[in-house]
């Protein structure tokens, strides 16, 4: 079968697909001259980086006239002419194209500006035929991953209810990935003392949630602690004043109609706690429970703080928490004097302990730097004090991060799996449909202060195209549920024109290659929870 790949940009629609998204390279594929199928749900895949001006502002860029071709080393090249966000020419790269190289149409390396004359030898066009193996893998990668089937073991021999409860289902997905799942079995018809075969029915255990869960809340964090579950967030319903915590026996209980919100950090001018109580996160650091958050005093300007829970005290009582402490640099000076700092998170890897936060200068002025992520090391005994100089991780140079003036890299959160540190972060508009998740990765053993240790995904990993009916998914956190599954919580909106932030939760799936996939809806994850099988109790039981 012949597969042909096409490259293109999309028309600008200021209400639903603005310049920062439309002026990126999109991919489509057709099989044996059939209908073209857009990849990545027709959302951009390759974004041209913007430039940093002499006054430290970002000049947003896009791409036009993309082409694709086979290179001499048998790699695939994709190129395009860089333009300004408004579509005007980029005179600094006149006569040049931006060139990406790939061998699999999944992972891309930007080679930077290349003379247009240098690529004409490869006969660039808007279409390229690709090998079957490469094409099939790329199609799977850029297509939605959906549940295929559940498989149970053959010839199941059991001797007790405990052995029955240990029988798990293998769930398979459209990309070839799989996972094992606990089954809640109904053993009412089984006599474990009588040999024979029994037909047994069960339900696959899967924590699933509807969207939205809580209206008027952003930056949600779900956290287990000493046998209970806790929820903390930015409370837009109260103009982001105060930090409130919910407590329940399970995660679903955190969103019950009668759940109580406990005020643990109130408005308090004497302590400089007056506004922007933003993005609180629970973290266990050095064996102690902390909340990392941002807050402003009387003068607007959020700054990173943390506060520690007193030993043996309840999470939901204000008196259980020590006074908030502002995060400082190595020399004891504030993390920022004029700029704002917010969205601090904690990262622990084999290489050490770190914090990552968002930093922004001159917000709302012509010299607005945009928010950017920094990382520094800490001593877990004194997590409020950096033990290194801050290192810049990422700025919002891509069009999806810098949409119509929403110059954001913020909301970092992390998990570690199979020797890789994954850091998600958000770009676009924090309370609108363009909000999206980006991804940074590094080896767990690497020095995370070395910028060369990190890889930044060109393409966002969660957008308003990912799950139907969810707009602007972003500022997420992670938790592990009772079935040892990684879950992601996030905020978004229910309509493309809506500005009320609300919360969602879903399972993080892992592809066949082990990489995370964040856009699987609950309907795509599991279509039928009911399973049945035959078990055999042997005569010598």
Q: What is the rounded CA–CA span in Å between residue 490 and residue 405?
A: 22
- CB-based burial of residue 507 (10 Å sphere; 0-12 exposed, 13-18 middle, 19+ buried)? buried
The predicted structure's pLDDT at residue 541: 63
Q: What angle do CA 358, 361, 366 make, to 5 degrees?
A: 130
Q: Helix, strand or coil for residue 119?
A: helix
Bond before 212 cis per omega within 30 degrees: yes
Query: How does pLDDT run across 326-348, given as a tens digit for each residue?
Result: 999 999 999 999 999 999 999 99
Q: Helix, strand or coil for residue 269?
A: helix
Q: What is the rounded CA–CA span in Å between residue 313 and residue 97?
A: 61
Give percent of the chain above pLDDT 90. 95
The predicted structure's pLDDT at residue 2: 86
Among 291, 288, 213, which residue's Cα sits nearest to residue 245? 291
Q: Which residues contact 489 (CB under 8 A, 6 or more apart)?
A: 220, 221, 222, 476, 477, 478, 479, 503, 504, 505
Q: What is the rounded CA–CA span in Å between residue 26 and residue 6?
A: 8
One digit per residue, the tens of pLDDT, for the chain of length 541 reads: 689 999 999 999 999 999 999 999 999 999 977 789 999 999 999 999 999 999 999 999 999 999 999 998 889 999 999 999 999 999 999 999 999 999 999 999 998 899 999 999 999 999 999 999 999 999 999 999 999 999 999 889 999 999 999 999 999 999 999 999 999 999 998 999 999 999 999 999 999 999 999 999 999 999 999 999 999 999 999 999 999 999 999 999 999 999 999 999 999 999 999 999 999 999 999 999 999 999 999 999 999 999 999 999 999 999 999 999 999 999 999 999 999 999 999 999 999 999 999 999 999 999 999 999 999 999 999 999 999 999 999 999 999 999 999 999 999 999 999 999 999 999 999 999 999 999 999 999 999 999 999 999 999 999 999 999 999 999 999 999 999 999 999 999 999 999 999 999 999 999 999 999 999 999 999 998 899 999 999 987 6
Task: Compute the mean pLDDT over every residue in the chain, rounded to the nearest whole number.
Answer: 96
Q: Helix, strand or coil for residue 318?
A: helix
* Chain CA centroid to CA 255, Å: 22
Q: What is the rounded CA–CA span in Å between residue 30 and residue 6?
A: 8
How many C-beta neighbours within 10 Å does residue 128 have? 21
Q: Which residues contact 33 (CB under 8 A, 6 or more apart)?
A: 2, 4
Q: Would you say the pTM of this structure is higher than 0.85?
A: yes
How many C-beta neighbours within 10 Å does residue 381 have? 11
The predicted structure's pLDDT at residue 1: 64
- Output the six-digit token pair for 359: 């930093």
């Amino acid at each position: 079968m012949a597969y042909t790949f096409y490259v293109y940009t999309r028309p600008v629609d200021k209400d639903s697909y603005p310049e920062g998204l439309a002026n990126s390279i999109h991919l489509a594929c057709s099989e044996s001259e059939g209908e073209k199928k857009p990849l990545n749900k027709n959302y951009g895949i390759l974004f041209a980086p913007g430039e940093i001006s002499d006054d430290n502002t970002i000049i947003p860029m896009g791409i036009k006239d993309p082409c694709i071709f086979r290179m001499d080393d048998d790699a695939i090249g994709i190129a395009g002419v860089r333009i300004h966000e408004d579509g005007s020419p980029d005179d600094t790269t006149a006569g040049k194209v931006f060139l990406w190289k790939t061998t699999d149409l999944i992972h891309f390396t930007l080679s930077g500006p290349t003379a247009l004359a240098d690529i004409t030898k490869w006969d660039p066009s808007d279409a390229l035929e690709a090998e079957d193996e490469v094409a099939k893998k790329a199609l799977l990668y850029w297509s939605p991953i959906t549940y295929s089937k559940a498989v149970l073991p053959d010839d199941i021999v059991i001797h007790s209810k405990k052995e029955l409860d240990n029988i798990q289902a293998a769930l398979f997905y459209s990309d070839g990935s799989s996972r094992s799942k606990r089954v809640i079995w109904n053993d009412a018809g089984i006599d474990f003392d009588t040999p024979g075969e029994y037909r047994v029915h069960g339900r696959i255990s899967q924590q699933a949630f509807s969207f939205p869960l809580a209206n008027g809340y952003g930056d949600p964090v779900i956290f287990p602690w000493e046998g209970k579950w806790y929820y903390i967030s930015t409370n837009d319903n109260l103009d982001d004043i105060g930090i409130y915590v919910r407590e329940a026996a399970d995660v679903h209980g955190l969103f019950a109609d009668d759940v109580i919100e406990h005020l643990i950090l109130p408005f308090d001018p004497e302590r400089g706690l007056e506004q922007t109580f933003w993005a609180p996160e629970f973290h266990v650091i050095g064996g102690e429970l902390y909340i990392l958050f941002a807050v402003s005093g009387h003068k607007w300007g959020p700054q990173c703080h943390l506060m520690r829970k007193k030993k043996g005290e309840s999470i939901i009582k204000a008196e259980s928490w020590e006074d908030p402490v502002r995060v400082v640099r190595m020399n004891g000076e504030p993390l920022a004097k004029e700029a704002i700092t917010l969205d601090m998170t904690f990262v622990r890897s084999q290489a050490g302990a770190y914090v990552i936060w968002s930093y922004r200068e001159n917000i709302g002025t012509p010299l607005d730097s945009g928010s950017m992520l920094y990382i520094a090391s800490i001593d877990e005994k004194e997590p409020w004090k950096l033990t290194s100089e801050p290192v810049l991780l990422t700025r919002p140079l891509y069009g999806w991060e810098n949409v119509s003036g929403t110059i954001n890299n913020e909301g970092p959160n992390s998990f570690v799996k199979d020797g890789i540190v994954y850091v998600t972060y958000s770009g676009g508009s924090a309370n609108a449909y363009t909000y999206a998740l980006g991804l940074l990765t590094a080896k767990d053993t690497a020095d995370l202060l070395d910028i060369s240790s990190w890889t930044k995904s060109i393409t966002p990993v969660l957008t308003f195209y990912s799950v139907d009916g969810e707009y602007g998914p972003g500022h997420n956190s992670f938790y592990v549920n009772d079935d040892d599954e990684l879950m992601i919580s996030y905020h978004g909106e229910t309509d493309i024109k809506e500005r009320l932030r609300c919360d969602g939760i879903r399972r993080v799936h892992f592809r066949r290659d082990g990489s995370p996939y964040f856009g699987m809806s609950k309907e795509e994850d599991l279509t039928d929870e009911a399973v049945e099988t035959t078990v055999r109790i042997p005569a010598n039981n």
